[in-house]
Amino acid sequence: MKLITAIIRPERLEDVKSALFAAEVTGLTIIRVAGHGGEKIAVETYRGAQMAYEFHEKVQLDIAVSEPFVDVTIKAILGAARTGEVGDGKIFVRPLDQVIRIRTGELDIEALTPEPLRHH
At 26-57, the pLDDT tens digits run: 999 999 999 887 666 666 777 777 766 678 89
The closest alpha carbon to 89, from 100, 98, 78, belongs to: 78
CB 39 within 8 A of CB 56: yes
Q: Which one, of 74, 56, 57, 54, lies nearest residue 65 by Cα?
A: 74
CATH, range 2-95: 3.30.70.120
Residue 68 has a CB neighbour count (10 Å cut-off) of 8
The pTM is what? Answer: 0.83
pLDDT digits (tens, 9 = 90+) for 70-109: 999 999 999 999 999 988 999 999 999 999 999 999 999 9
Q: Locate the domains of the chain by residue range.
A: 2-95
Ordered DSSP codes for 98-118: --B-TTT--BHHHHHS-HHHH
